[in-house]
Amino acid sequence: MPPLPPPVQFQLGKSSWKLFTKRTNSLFLTYSVTDPVVKKNYLLASLGDDVYNLLHSLCVPKEPEHPDYTFENLIAALTAHLRPVRSLFSARQNFYRATQSEGETVPEFFCKSSTVGF
């Protein structure tokens, strides 16, 4: 296995968690990484301070480095926190509150309103 490139730091508010996990999994496929310990350690090295502190608080009473936590467990914990399930009722409310802006064409409004909340 060739050496892995240095990890790209994931920072809250600056990166997309969904894209980060896809990119990390693609990197593991590209470099044929199958060792769960390597995956876990690479993930931990990829997290910025704020995300690492968040993960640490999600893993209480143990620390993220504890052997009981796997790469998949840590990804699932962060995903559950960073990408919560959206409420259908709030999405519906956002859809019904959408208004056409002055100067906005009907096709532009349609595109905007078709993506609001759903």
Q: What's the CA gap between 116 and 118, in Å, rounded?
A: 6
Tens digits of residue pLDDT in 1-36: 678 899 889 998 888 999 999 999 999 999 999 999
Among residues 20, 28, 70, 78, the alpha carbon closest in space to that of 50 is found at 78
Q: 3-state secondary structure string, the chain? A: CCCCCCCCCECCCCCCHHHHHHHHHHHHHHCCCCCHHHHHHHHHHHECHHHHHHHHHHCCCCCCCCCCCCHHHHHHHHHHHHCCCCCHHHHHHHHHHCCCCCCCCHHHHHHHHHHCCC
What does the pLDDT read at residue 3?
86
pTM of the model: 0.71
Give 116's pLDDT tier (boundaries 50, 70, 90): low
Give 118's pLDDT tier (boundaries 50, 70, 90): low
Tens digits of residue pLDDT in 56-101: 999 999 999 999 999 999 999 999 998 877 778 887 888 888 888 8
Tens digits of residue pLDDT in 38-60: 999 999 999 999 999 999 999 99
